[in-house]
Amino acid sequence: MGSVEQEARAPKGEMQIRTVAMPSDTNPNGDIFGGWVLSQMDIAGGIAAASRANGRVATVGIEAMTFIKPVGMGDILCCYCDIEKVGRTSITVSIEAWKIRWYQQRQERVLVTEGQFTYVAIDDHGKKRTLEG
């Protein structure tokens, strides 16, 4: 999918978090660390998965991670989640991260990265548990 198509489409899923990229999150080039973006996506996916699981979840896998555009200091990062698959104990969540340059006259939303995260439902002792209905 070309970047023009990516920017023209709407985010897939429901927004779970929205946060501002701060100076402490930058790398030596002045861009936001990919690991920071990844952690925000994991938090967002965990919120979506925990809601579906009606309880605690733990991240067990990240696949198909694609970084498309950099995130800059001061950008607003929005993470959208869509439940892709629900298994006996696991939930696969498709996550998209979009940035908004709030300080520009035209506040354009741009897709910056996407990936699939898998979470497993856990009980109060950290053991896998079966998902309900």
Domains annotated for the chain, with CATH where assigned, are 3-121 (3.10.129.10)
Kindly state the average pLDDT of the residues 70-90.
Answer: 96
Q: What is the pLDDT of residues 4-50, one digit of tens each?
A: 444 468 999 999 999 999 999 999 988 999 999 999 999 999 999 99
For 7, other C-beta atoms within 10 Å of its C-beta total 14
The CA-based diameter of the chain, rounded to the nearest angstrom, is: 50
Output the pTM of the full model.
0.89
The SS3 assignment for 107 reads coil
Number of residues that this document lists for the chain: 133
Q: What is the pLDDT of residues 99-122, one digit of tens each?
A: 998 776 667 899 999 999 999 999
